[in-house]
A and B are shown apart, each in its own frame.
Chain A
Amino acid sequence: MIRLENIKASYSEFSVLEGINFHVSEGEFLGIIGPNGAGKTTLLKVMTGVKRALNGKIMLDDKDISSLSRKEIAKIMAVVPQSIFIPPLFTVEDVVLMGRYAHQENRFGVTKQDLAVCEEAMRKTACLSFRHRQINELSGGERQAVIIARALAQQPKILMLDEPTANLDIKHQMRVLGLVKTLVREHGITTVMVIHDLNLAARFCDRLILLHNHRILCDGISQQVLTPKNLLEAYEVEVNVEYSEILQTLQVMVKGIMNYE
């Protein structure tokens, strides 16, 4: 579904990504983890075509991203950005309807299909009960749900999320990630998510990519990636990794920052 071939990117002279190669197959839930400054956000920007790669190729649904218009990209891929700027006064419904932009041929007016898709998107994300409220009045968790609904209104094959749980309490973290997981499982939406929380990453993602120093340090299932050795190298922290029987997933416990002295 998404293939990156030998991607290199930089900000002026500073190289931020080098030799990035990976492939995300259809219906896969990929988590991108790594310390601050490893290049996670840049990688997402390159993958969404917002930032141009210096060299290398990105294929979306077997099409080169550089040959696609923004509308064509938006029909394949929806993005839930990290910090969402919300102009007040727009209602939830208005915002979700904006997800239809790429599909709307007519400059004015909204089709029955647009409305039906939005209704369905709001139903899946449980936004229907507050559809007429202004988005600036909502809580952080509700707002995140609205932005995911807007992404679904694009009817994408691929969903990109940049730290969707940042600024959310633990209940809403679980709710948002549970929702994303459902979308992957039941609707086969290929999903790539940048996330800081290693435990949530291990619990929800099918596969993890650990970025370190602008390169991929490790790529695989959580048991392969979340090892004390890898995490020591990437984050410079000493950790204990255990398998939790209750959660049926790996849990990372940070023991302390590595001492250089």
Chain B
Amino acid sequence: MSRKQKKYLFILVIGVVMACIIGVMIGPVFIHPLVILKIWGHKISCGLFFQPDWNSIAETIVLDIRTPRVILAMLVGMGLSISGAAMQGLFRNPMAEPYVLGMSAGAACGAALAMVLGIGTVFGGLTIPAMAFLGATATIFVVYNIARTEGRIPTETLLLSGIAVGFFLYAAVSFLKLIASEHTLRDIVLWLMGSFASGSWQDVKIVALPILCGIIVLYFFSRELNVIAFGEEQALHLGVEVERCKRIILVAASLVTAVSVAVSGIIGFVGLVIPHITRLIVGPNYYILLPASALGGGIFLVLADILARTVTQPMEIPIGIITAAIGAPYFVYLLRRRKKSVSWW
């Protein structure tokens, strides 16, 4: 890793810390950054440092409400961005993103079904995430098996079967919307646009491990992704076991996506555009591209979530609206500024 690349990562890590502090700081009640740091320090050190000189309401807001929400947004942003970057590399296609294999449609189908059947609260708050996760994993399983021929998974077939299955499932979601009651319909629509409003420590505990594991696995395959960028046949000649790598990368990216979508609903745009923006800035090498995308995606979602909960206070807007409304113009700006770099595939 060159010095320039280390510098990028260093700036991004600082950015992550800053985003977390700002994310906890801003809300209906403003909390001073120093107080936040003291509360965190007190909690992390199990009460050894920083004796409480703040009021207990601030502590509740910081520890129980905003910190888990910020961490959740960070994890989901990281997960969606890194799996988007990996998918784009695997498919050598700029349109690829985490949802490209129909997982968002599968998750939507599962979640909408739970809502329409009215079982959303049967197993506590976890039914909808669980159904969404099941929907997403079942979808990728079906898509994968449709595409598989003679032990290989041709990427073009995979992409097309993902799109086909996705369309089918969105038809199912539309049907569910049609038969849903007005109140349920609103819930479904909100879910489809994503939100961290219900983010809790429980969510963080469930998603942290799979997302972090997925990220680590993908990072381990950055060298293979670099080589596969030249096409699968060239990768074979250079010594890559292409089919095996494809399978591992797909499973890791899908797991991360399924978990993310399960807890946050469908947050579009992050997984598509953050990797592109990152590539324009740090270059195409997956060593740097994958971690930089992850950190950038995390920062982006934390900041977007701040807007989602503050712009129309006290009402929240779905974060999917924010990510697209802010990210798209910025991406267009970058495209116009660095035209030659756009056609990287």
For this complex, into which size category does the number of interface residues on chain B fall? 20 to 34
Separation of A48 and B283 alpha carbons in the complex (Å):
32
Whether B345 is near chain A, meaning CB under 8 Å from some CB there, is yes
Whether B330 is near chain A, meaning CB under 8 Å from some CB there, is no
The residues in A between 54 and 91 inclusive whose CB is less than 8 angstroms from any CB of B are: 69-71, 73-75, 77-79, 81, 84-90
Query: How would residues 218 to 240 of chain B score, 1 for a CB under 8 Å from any chain A CB and 0 otherwise?
Result: 00100100110111011011111
Whether A107 is near chain B, meaning CB under 8 Å from some CB there, is yes
Which of B234, B242, B341 contacts A88 (CB under 8 A)?
B341
For residue A77, which residues in chain B have a CB less than 8 angstroms away from its CB? 237
For residue B341, which residues in chain A have a CB less than 8 angstroms away from its CB? 88-89
| Pair A98/B343 contact, Cβ less than 8 Å | no
For residue A130, which residues in chain B have a CB less than 8 angstroms away from its CB? none
Query: How would residues 94 to 107 of chain A score, 1 for a CB under 8 Å from any chain B CB and 0 otherwise?
Result: 10001101101001
Whether B69 is near chain A, meaning CB under 8 Å from some CB there, is no
For residue B64, which residues in chain A have a CB less than 8 angstroms away from its CB? none
| Pair B239/A75 contact, Cβ less than 8 Å | yes
Whether A154 is near chain B, meaning CB under 8 Å from some CB there, is yes
For residue A90, which residues in chain B have a CB less than 8 angstroms away from its CB? 226, 229, 284-285
Separation of A107 and B231 alpha carbons in the complex (Å):
20
Separation of A102 and B279 alpha carbons in the complex (Å):
26
Which of B226, B239, B287 contacts A73 (CB under 8 A)?
B239
Whether A50 is near chain B, meaning CB under 8 Å from some CB there, is yes
Which of A84, A88, A98 contacts B227 (CB under 8 A)?
A98
| Pair B238/A154 contact, Cβ less than 8 Å | yes
For residue B343, which residues in chain A have a CB less than 8 angstroms away from its CB? 88
For residue A79, which residues in chain B have a CB less than 8 angstroms away from its CB? 234, 237
For residue B92, which residues in chain A have a CB less than 8 angstroms away from its CB? 85, 87
| Pair B239/A89 contact, Cβ less than 8 Å | no
For residue B240, which residues in chain A have a CB less than 8 angstroms away from its CB? 70, 101
For residue A101, which residues in chain B have a CB less than 8 angstroms away from its CB? 223, 227, 238-240
| Pair B239/A71 contact, Cβ less than 8 Å | yes
Separation of A191 and B283 alpha carbons in the complex (Å):
35
Query: How would residues 136 to 171 of chain A score, 1 for a CB under 8 Å from any chain B CB and 0 otherwise?
Result: 000000000000001000100000000000000000
Which of A75, A85, A89, A150 contacts B231 (CB under 8 A)?
A85
For residue B156, which residues in chain A have a CB less than 8 angstroms away from its CB? none
Shortest CB-to-CB span from A144 to chain B, Å, is 14
Separation of A150 and B343 alpha carbons in the complex (Å):
23
Which residue of chain A is the closest to B343 with respect to CB atoms?
Answer: A88
| Pair A70/B230 contact, Cβ less than 8 Å | no
Separation of A74 and B224 alpha carbons in the complex (Å):
14
| Pair A89/B230 contact, Cβ less than 8 Å | no
For residue B239, which residues in chain A have a CB less than 8 angstroms away from its CB? 70-71, 73-75, 101-102, 154
The residues in B between 238 and 257 inclusive whose CB is less than 8 angstroms from any CB of A are: 238-242
The residues in A between 179 and 216 inclusive whose CB is less than 8 angstroms from any CB of B are: none
Contact sample, A vs B, 12 pairs, CB 8 Å cutoff: A48-B236, A50-B237, A81-B233, A81-B237, A85-B230, A87-B284, A88-B284, A89-B283, A90-B284, A94-B285, A98-B227, A108-B223
Besides the contacts A84-B234, A89-B284, what 8 more A-B pairs have beta carbons closer than 8 Å?
A: A50-B237, A71-B239, A79-B237, A87-B284, A88-B344, A98-B238, A101-B223, A107-B220
